[in-house]
Chain A
């Protein structure tokens, strides 16, 4: 084959334009496999236990809180008249928003040929799936009669009763469940080559069996790779509209109503941007400690952090634009109720929620314009937490501030959560981190095969690839 191939002379890249490598220190394939596998194959680190035990306790707390709430009634939460939705829907939207980054990274960036995604997509997708699980708890459990949740699904019964397809809550059911299913599939398909690697490295029968079972007999043959890549591409194509649709539809929960501050056509794009913003915030929050704990600095490099900061900055600007535009539209609409609502956001008794939202989502991301800040891990970590907080407050402002003072002042009432609200929310962190810690301990946290694909030596023309171009 080498005879056929024509030697092409590639001029060297000028010094200033040279791209930072995606894997630092010119690591080899073997090193990458070893490094990633070490997390699952090595001795359980102490920090893992230190994180896992509190997580599992919080998970228990979630169970206890949900048991208490289902047993006693939604009244154990702070929801009241007129604020019929409180922390339940805030946290639902917050978690769903977080669940946006993973699929965006793996699907949209894949289609856009953003090769840097490989280092973070596996963990981000896992984060997505677990976040959607946390989110799903809320709509399922916040209803008054949980045992009738199945009425929201279009199940043909002898009564001929159907759900009402005009209701955005109905659309939510479809949007979230579809998103979860496709994300899970996408994640699993991407895992197959790495599961095969784990199987091949496994030293115990049990591991061999389970990794083998889920690796679906992967051998790495060309036919497998060919099918795999096609499937992956199709799933990426399927997931891409879902990334946009799920939060658009969640936003319709509000936009379809007629409340001032809710009934807004800007919501779908604004919610998607906000979701990506919060998703990247959460990815940064998770990966910055993980890369040092698991010694993945060469795989998740400063370049990755830098790029993610830029995405956060971009989406943060979109969100800020939306915040300002909402005010302008309220003024332009001439609607007294709209005007009142937005003034009340900023000046009313819950002004602090609005200040938190504007501060964290509009002001804080502006710091990412500075390369120095983007390259400072501690600062980025702190700022990413601010992004998470800010996005929580954005949902607080929409849900609670939208409801507590609306048309009839006689119904105005201040909203306060109860300890059950707070403990349930903490409990969802328990669920999230328990699942995430289990994931990183038992599955390859980095998409090994894909990272290898973006190393220089994977390039058939690279000298380190042995010069036998064409092997692909």
Chain B
């Protein structure tokens, strides 16, 4: 029995957000925990109650190691920190722990592993054990951890806008429950968002049993459910299609950004790119056709792209269907001459030629008719069951928002309970939601933020983050996965399960028990071992949805086609395409600074949305970038800035939803403009008949991380067509710069780098580990997940919009995106009056941007062996280690910035200001106005500063909260210090230490291949990034580097980068009208440097060999 320190008698004045822990600390279980030498069942987790409490206690005590023993807790700064007298079993202080959990999304849950330090979750990764996955994830997963520690999240129970105590709020809920228990729920309506939670569904059914009169409604501004609805209609049973891009040889996307905007994009990326990882010229790869209005990630990665307005996609679909022999009635001929008939027929031919291995997909913003046409095409191609898997989907049990509006208008709703959904912000404009919602007598809301809907509600309850709550979910293929908490709710938040159970007055309100009961119900496994395995693995084997055997019926199609009308957009009939933002989703991530500052994968804009238009549209409208225009459709108006986007369809105005929030946290306020006023139930996401009026003289500054679009014929991203790859497998090295003649034939180190290569000396190459990375440009789709993953792993701060405009963004890793066009259409090169030498702002007027190809390249520190940065640092702050890493000594850096000037890859980032401590208001402006000229809120800035130096700064409480997010293995850099990618040296070192411990006497200290994954590599859904030991010829990275597509960027500088790229290969169809023998970047290169295939490659090959020979593998 250990000695229990006396109870702290100081008044209980801890920070309010630790109340949850305080209460926890008073529970008998916790007191017992303190008294026992070992916590009850801490080792084997056999008892569910103590397991749950163990997790809670982990959170409570490990995070704030002293507070548990103080027994009042929650007063970290004042309390004496005491060590564990006896540590819980298997707990090693300072070592991260991982728990399986999941993130619920409208398309299905994403199985995750959360990494936790001292009870603080700090990083999320995909669950590598999950069979239908590769451990990759997406942007939203990577950024979700930031929301957990968001000081702006809802943290109070509020009644009519004033905070009330938790007990008062719970009393109110029991009052509601009692009231409706009496009348079977008449007048009670629930509004939620689409979720895959199995417990939620079970609870829903239980509530329906208890309160049969209560109504359920679902609303999602992004309606990804249309795929299921269309399949259900086409196949006559409730089925959900799964697109097997990994099976498909030929894919046609009809306005479907299946690797970007669509749900389940991470899985689609993994499946799609699995067919593009070719090793030898003999390998086959898939081919992607894209028909779209916006330039999307799918279009960027397509082999052929047809740009048409979204309203014309129906005609394209009909034309293709007609080519394939589907009876589409009169629709087939309605497109007329405006469509590229050859493109369509050749595409259809190619689809047919693929046998059953063709796949056609339609985007969620397309009307039902297109989806039904696609089902018919897939049926005709024999793709159903092969590339389109139909799985059983549960019958929908809720009605939609329009029906709720009707019900509200009729006065049938007494109490409206809103879970998560934010209809006041994102409901279709024609429902006039703010007024409609008020027709309910009482509106109760559970929300993560006190947002627009929260402010309009009578009661607001704070919702727990998913890392704070018990729940479960189903992945896109229906597998049951647990959502486990890693930390006790920081601000007393409720899970939606508990909240709903309380509202309905159910007997079981403990979400843990609800989830456990669901697990038992779904799997039929009531054993502890089964439950524990479920939690340990993070999924329940064999719970995936069954494949449905269904048959297609043509009736639905005929019906839909009869109703379908379509008119392509034109100058007089402008079309607005509202799209899901790749960062903010429907607006829910508006307060997430990482996502706000993540460059949009296409436009590279940050912190804003814009009205995307093609060059031709902009010219005809008489507008240019940053001009503010007013778009009106009927009586609805939206005001926003213009941004010319290459590759956009003419007469289409693309606007991302999710911006212009009026009530959210302080980060998200004031970014972009709200496009929901144009969104309505009738026209959906594609709104035609828009009018555009330029607001004279008004400009809005947009921040973009990449201002130059063209690669200018340089061999930075190297690509070739599959045919070229077959005839010249060494095309990538042929694009190396010519080597100057060797003055000394006996010199093996020719050509010589300017800077010495310490690793030429065998003494320095002695380490068993030589780290290197290979990035496959053929599988990188440019989604940006790695950028956020790097930010989360390495404590990278955000800098705000005005500083991005200044080029001060801090991302260690960026995705360079280059547009290329047929060089014949460009006036460029080194002669006078070429586009090359224009200001970047003038690119928007160039004609070549109409039909572009795009390439992506993740760019991070290349870890050059002969590093230019190292020899120019006056204080030795950046040096080489014996494992080939270019390491940065933050403590030693004085910040002369010479290293960055001399870095040819420009991958070094400099802390120009103390980004970790910047005032919030500086995230969005003012744009470098001198404080003696500028005033805020009518007060002179200098005076404001004089009055209050701390104005706009976060409070200490908030800093403390944000600090919990930081990865303790990575230094938080101060201002004036240069920083850059370290190849996640913290992961390397911990793996090396672990291996040394494991090796013990055996001396086998070489870390096995694949043990170390850099954050970017781990997050990449495509598996495009591979890191490892290049000294081991059997490692994955060595094998990739041995491929013929391997090359280094800026090879001619002889910096010998350890990061190399595998050149891209396109797979165009020679029969297509837009076929070119070589990709545009290749032609641009050939025009500047001569055809790399023209000269015989004796010395070229020799050069290639010598380069690879010294490249370190």
Contacts and interface: CB of A to CB of B under 8 A. Distances in A.
B928 A418 contact: yes
Given A167-B872, A259-B901, A349-B838, A82 B976 contact: no
A144 B977 contact: yes
Contacts of A170: 874
A413 B807 contact: yes
Interface in A152-172: 152, 161-164, 166-170
A259 B897 CA distance: 14
Nearest to B889: A161
A152 B875 CA distance: 6
Interface of A is mostly: loop
Nearest to B799: A75
A438 B34 CA distance: 76
B808 interface: yes
B840 A145 contact: no
B167 interface: no
Interface in A395-435: 403, 405-414, 418-419
B84 interface: no
Interface string B892-912: 111111101110111001111
B837 interface: yes
B653 to A, nearest CB: 27
B871 interface: yes
Contact of B912 (A74, A161, A166, A336): A74
A409 B708 CA distance: 6
A259 to B, nearest CB: 7
Interface of B is mostly: loop
Given A72-B913, A73-B911, A168-B872, A408 B859 contact: yes
Interface string B811-847: 0001011100000000000101110111110000000
B59 to A, nearest CB: 36
A145 to B, nearest CB: 4
B975 interface: yes
B873 to A, nearest CB: 6
A144 B893 contact: yes
Nearest to A164: B876
A299 to B, nearest CB: 44
B904 A349 contact: no
A311 interface: no
Interface stretch (A219-227, A283-291, A338-346): A338-346
A343 B828 CA distance: 12
Contacts of A348: 837
B806 A163 contact: no
Contact of A74 (B737, B895, B901): B895
A258 interface: yes
Contacts of A355: none
A3 to B, nearest CB: 67
A75 B911 CA distance: 8
Interface stretch (B344-352, B431-439, B711-719, B958-966): B711-719
Nearest to A166: B871
Interface string B175-216: 000000000000000000000000000000000000000000
A332 interface: no
A148 interface: yes
Contact of B816 (A173, A253, A408): A408
B868 interface: yes
B839 A258 contact: no
Given A145-B893, A348-B837, A414-B839, A408 B912 contact: no
Contacts of A340: 712, 830
B46 interface: no
B710 interface: yes
B818 A409 contact: yes
Contacts of A356: none
A263 interface: yes
B1088 interface: yes
A122 to B, nearest CB: 35
B808 A349 contact: no
Contacts of A79: 897, 912
Interface in B849-872: 857, 859, 868, 871-872
B754 interface: yes
A253 B707 CA distance: 28
B1053 interface: yes
B876 to A, nearest CB: 4
B706 interface: yes
Interface string A168-186: 1110010000000000000
Given A407-B905, A408-B816, A152 B897 contact: no
A85 B808 contact: no
A144 B906 contact: no
Contact of A410 (B818, B868, B901): B818
Interface string B953-989: 0000000000000000000001111100000000000
Among all A-B residue pairs, the 7 with the closest Cβ atoms? A144-B895, A144-B976, A75-B912, A410-B816, A80-B807, A75-B913, A84-B897
Given A80-B806, A144-B893, A164-B873, 9 more contacts: A78-B806, A143-B894, A145-B893, A162-B876, A164-B874, A343-B830, A351-B837, A410-B857, A413-B840
24 contacts: A72-B913, A73-B914, A80-B806, A81-B906, A81-B910, A82-B900, A143-B895, A144-B978, A151-B875, A151-B892, A161-B875, A167-B871, A167-B898, A169-B874, A169-B896, A256-B871, A258-B904, A336-B1088, A344-B837, A349-B837, A407-B1053, A409-B712, A410-B708, A410-B814
